[in-house]
Chains A and B, each alone.
Chain A
C-alpha cells in the first residue's frame, strides 16, 4: 500500500454483471445510513433491475454531469459536485469505467482518488476481469479482450476488498428470469459470455484474487501477534518459507513488439505474487518503432514498474550487464521471432541472453494464443 489517501476505499469485487455487487453496496449503505452516516450515491448504474433500484430508496443521489461529445450526450459521475457536497461516504458503481473524452480525468478510479484525497470514504464495485494483470488470462478463457482496465496497485491500495459470490448456476437462473438483462439480450449473453465454463473460470479468478488481496494486506500490516514469532506456518502460509530467501528482483526486457504488453503484465504479476521488485529495460537501437516503445514504457510505469532505457549496439550483452549491475535474479523475455532457415545457425537474442546471464534465471514468456 504505497499511496495513503485520507478517505477509506472499499471495493466489492464480482466476476460478472448480475452477481449482486451493487445490491451488496446499497445494502451496506442502508445499514450505515440507519447508523447516521452521511451518504450520497456518487454514481449508480441501475440496469433496470427492480430489486436493486428499490435498495436506493431514501439515499441521496448526486446528479450526473452531462457531457457532449461527438454530437452525443454522455453522463458521467459529477466528481466536483460530490466534493462540494462533502459527504462522509460516497457510493461509486463501475470503478473500472473510462470517462468520455473531455472529462477532467480519464478513469473513474482517478475520480475516486480525488474523493479519497478530500477525505471522503468510498465504496465501489468492480468485476475481476477489469484487473490489468488478468487481462491476458481473461482473453484466453473467454475470448474477450477487456478494454477498461484498472492497474493492480489501485486495488492493492484499497483498504478492503470483499468478494461478492454467486454460483454460475444461480447467475444463469437470474439471466433466464430476466433479472439481469432484458430477455432478448439475456439469451445472447447466455450463449456467449455467460457460459458455465467462462463464469466458473472468472469466479475462480475472483476468489483467488480476493485471497491474494487479503494476504497482501496481512503482509503489509504485521501486528504484535506476528512479531511474537507465532508458528502461523499453516499449510497455505508461505511467509515462514519465504523468510530466509533474499528478495527477488525481476527485470522485464521490453521491445516495440506488440507482445511486450503480455510480457509486462506477466512479469509484473509474477513479481507481485513473489513480492519481488520489478524493473523494465529497453535497449534502444536504430530503426525501431519509437511510438510503440514509448507506449510500452508508459504502460509499464502506469503499473508502477521502474523503467530504464539504455543505448547499446549489442542487445543481449547490454541486458546481461544491466541485470548484473542491478542484482537481478530473474530476467523476463518474449520469445525471439522465428528465423529463416539460412540464419538458423546464428543464436537468437534469447539464446544469447541465456549465454551471457548464466548465473540468473531467465523466463521466456509464452505468447498464449487462443
Chain B
C-alpha cells in the first residue's frame, strides 16, 4: 500500500484554513479592488459599489478618501456619509489617519477605505493603514478598499525591475489572499497615458507589463481561493485553469533537457513546475549521485520537488498527478529498444492511464 503521508495537505496549511474559516465567521467581509497603475479607476469602482450598496439600503460610510477628488469622484461620493480621517502633522508632513474611534462608535455595515497602502505617522495605534482595516474587520465591519500593484510587498522587486521605481509603502500579499473578494480593475494602457499628464507615469510598455502582472496576480488569488473552497466542501476536481507541469526524474533521465523545457513551459503558461521521483532502494552510489544532482537542478529552476513512495512507478506518478491537478507530465523514454515480451512498458502503461494530463516523452539523451 502506498505511503501517502507526504501527499496530504500539510498540517500548517490545514490549520491556516481552519483558523481562516473561524475568523471569517466573526469578521466583516473584505473586498479589495486591485489596479495595475494609478488612474486605472479603482477608486471610482470602489465608491461606485459603495453608492450602489447604499441605494439598496445598506449602511455605508467612507472612512478614507484621497486628496483632491476629480469631478467624477466628487459626484459619485456626494451621497455618501464621510467619517473624515484625522489630519496629523509629523516630521513636517501631513498624514491622514483613519478615525477608528469614530468609525467604531458609528459602526456602519460597510466602510470604504481608499489608499490602502498608506502609512500612519510614528506613534500611531498601527504603523500601517491596512492594519487599521484589520481592526475594522475584527469588529465585524465590512470593508471595501483599493490598492495598486506597486504596493503589494511581494511584487515590489518585480515592479521595480519594470519601472525602476519602488513605492515606499506596502501591503503584504497575504492581506490580499485573505480577502473574501478581490476584483481587478482593468483598463487599456492607452487610456491611462491619454489621461495622465505627469512624468511619473510609466511608459506604455512598462504599463503593459504591470497590467499583465496584476492580471496574473489576481488569477493566482482566484486559483487559491477556488482550491480552498473545493477543499472545504470536500469536492475533488481534476482540472484547473492553470497549467501544471510535472517532470518525472530518475537517475538515468535526461534531466537537464526535461527540466529546462519544463521551466520554459511553466514560464510561458504562467503555470506551476513540479518535479517528482519515485524512491526505491536499489540505486547504486553512482545513480544516487546522478539523481541528487538532477534534483538539485530541479530546485535551482524553481521546481517544487517531491519524493513519492510507491513500489509501482506508474501508480505513484498517476496518484500524484491527479492529486496535484497536473496537466502535463514530462517523461524520458527508456533508452533501449522494447523487447517482444514487454508488451507494455511503464511509459505505455502511464500513457494508457493518463486521462487528465498529456504525456510528453523526451529523447533519452541528447546527441
A interface, CB within 8 angstroms of B: 10, 137, 140-141, 160, 162-167, 169-170, 196-197, 200-201, 203-205, 207-208, 210-211, 214-215, 217-218, 223, 225-226, 231-238, 241-242, 245, 266, 273-275, 330, 335, 338, 344-345, 347-348, 350-351, 354-355, 358-369
Contact = CB atoms under 8 A, between A and B. Distances in A.
B158 A208 contact: no
Category for how many chain B residues contact A: 35 or more
Interface stretch (B14-22, B305-313, B351-359): B351-359
A350 B204 CA distance: 47
Contact of B361 (A170, A354, A366, A369): A354
Contact of A245 (B242, B264, B333): B264
A245 B223 CA distance: 30
A236 B270 CA distance: 7
Contacts of B343: 344-345
Interface of B: 31, 157-159, 161-162, 180-188, 190, 203-206, 208-209, 211-213, 215-216, 218-219, 222-223, 225-226, 229-230, 235, 237, 239-242, 261, 263-265, 267-270, 328, 333, 337-338, 340, 343-344, 348, 351-352, 354-364
Contact of B355 (A170, A344, A358, A369): A369
Given A162-B187, A167-B182, A273-B269, A223 B229 contact: no
Contacts of B269: 273
Nearest to A332: B358
B205 A226 contact: yes
A369 B354 CA distance: 10
B229 A361 contact: no
A217 B208 contact: yes
Nearest to B218: A207
Contacts of B213: 234, 236
Closest 5 CB pairs of A and B: A238-B267, A211-B215, A207-B219, A234-B158, A204-B241
Q: Which of A140, A351, A359 has the most CB of B within 10 A?
A: A351
Given A204-B223, A211-B215, A141 B239 contact: yes
A84 B212 CA distance: 39
A366 B219 contact: no
B193 to A, nearest CB: 13
Given A137-B241, A160-B190, A170-B181, A207 B229 contact: no
A180 to B, nearest CB: 15
Nearest to A275: B268
B361 A234 contact: no
B230 A163 contact: no
28 contacts: A10-B188, A140-B239, A164-B186, A167-B183, A170-B181, A200-B229, A201-B241, A207-B218, A211-B212, A211-B215, A211-B270, A214-B211, A218-B212, A225-B203, A225-B205, A226-B205, A238-B267, A241-B263, A242-B267, A274-B265, A330-B360, A335-B351, A338-B352, A348-B348, A350-B351, A359-B363, A363-B328, A363-B360
